[in-house]
Structure 1
Amino acid sequence: MQDTGPNGHPPLSQDTSPCQYYGGTSSDLSLERNIGLLVKQVHTLMHRVIDLCTYPMGLTANQWRPLLLILVRGIDTPAELARALDVDTGATTRMLDRLESKGFVRRERVPEDRRVVKIVPTDEGRAVADQILPAISQALNVHLNGFSEDEIHILIALLKRMIVNGEHHLLQAANSPADTPAPTDTP
């Protein structure tokens, strides 16, 4: 009989020693073994399926995400939305232009400070946003087809642990001495 952890699920390894799974060769990093590429492929496919589910609502990927953030997280300024989406303000302006032309949001200047613009969802925007989470659920379930409930819980736990590991590493790098070069986007 297998031991169980919290909630009756198999316990995950608590080993915190540095992992050396990948050796840096091309065979180590092949598509079949490269976790980064596999996660990216799953991410891309999930968003393509979500796009199929949100298309009948008149939304593209660049529209359902910001609309959901505006309504679910209460984001109400373009700058805050740009930070949440990790895009530049120009891209945010274009997204908001499209959402506004479809009647899902409107932008209003704050009377006390005309430099500040608030994003206000319309009734039509609220109505379509109510359909987004069910569409995302449908898309996620497509990708979980054939998984047992235990496998889903294990997958979630493993992904969360990868996130914690990455965040911990970034925090350590940010606190390291100044002579350690910071990662850049250019080779």
Structure 2
Amino acid sequence: MSRPESSPPSSDLDNGSISSLIPAVAKAHRKLASALLADLGLAAGQQFVLMLLWKESPRSQTDITQQLMIEAPTAAKMLSRLEANGFITRERSTSDRRVVLVSPTESGRALEGPVTAVWERLEARTTVALSPAEQDQLRSLLERVAHSLTD
């Protein structure tokens, strides 16, 4: 028996609870993001670093870690890969040698248009089955859930 197209993928762990659906949706979203970003030489998650840097740079490595709500070793590994691929540079601050400042390179800045286009495709694919009103409602609900989990 096949499941209807509108049904989410299920597993033996899926009991229909919101807490089981959130990681399933997140995993599927990240997998699609990874596939879309791979052609740009980026892994899923790395686009967030670049998005922060396009808004303001340089930024401290600590600020990036805090803004993305990730652990310092995760940020360091991500930044090392972005640097190795030529998308960012890292330099010690001249005013405080403990601070590492991160800036996009020309190659990193050149990714702004392509990453934005990928992000728009990802958004469209993610919300294809939702009306504009449902998209607004989902956005509002997810913001509330995120707020309740981070307080």
Which residue of structure 1 aligns with residue 18 of structure 2? 35
Query: Does the Cα contact within 8 Å between 1:66 and 1:81 map onto a contact in 2?
Result: yes
Say whether 1:122 aligns with 2:105. yes
Query: Amino acid of the residue matched to residue 36 of structure 1?
Result: S
1:165 deviation in Å? 4.5
TM-score, with structure 2 as normaliser: 0.78
Query: Does the Cα contact within 8 Å between 2:88 and 2:108 map onto a contact in 1?
Result: yes
1:40 deviation in Å? 1.8
1:58 deviation in Å? 0.3
The counterpart of 1:77, out of the listed 60, 73, 91, is 60
Query: Does the Cα contact within 8 Å between 1:75 and 1:81 map onto a contact in 2?
Result: no
Query: Does the Cα contact within 8 Å between 1:46 and 1:140 map onto a contact in 2?
Result: no
Cα pair distance change 1:145/1:71, threshold 3 Å: same
Which residue of structure 2 aligns with residue 98 of structure 1? 81
The counterpart of 2:115, out of the listed 132, 145, 162, is 132
Distance (Å, rounded) in 2 between the aligned partners of 1:89 and 1:165:
24
Query: Does the Cα contact within 8 Å between 1:51 and 1:60 map onto a contact in 2?
Result: yes
Structure having the higher helix fraction is 2
Q: Could you say what secondary structure the match of 1:118 adopts?
A: strand
Say whether 1:109 aligns with 2:92. yes
Distance (Å, rounded) in 1 between the aligned partners of 2:131 and 2:118:
21
Identity %: 26
The counterpart of 1:67, out of the listed 50, 53, 67, is 50
Unaligned runs of 5+ in 2: 1-12
Q: Could you say what secondary structure the match of 1:61 adopts?
A: coil
Distance (Å, rounded) in 2 between the aligned partners of 1:137 and 1:37:
26
Distance (Å, rounded) in 2 between the aligned partners of 1:62 and 1:31:
26
Distance (Å, rounded) in 2 between the aligned partners of 1:62 and 1:143:
17
Say whether 1:151 aligns with 2:146. no
Larger radius of gyration: 1
1:84 deviation in Å? 2.0
Structure scoring higher RCO (CA < 8 A, sep ≥ 6) equals 2
Q: Could you say what secondary structure the match of 2:21 adopts?
A: helix
1:60 deviation in Å? 0.5
Q: Deviations over 1:81-120 (max 9, x none)?
A: 1222233322222211111111111112222322222111
Q: Deviations over 1:52-79 (max 9, x none)?
A: 1111100001422222222235561111
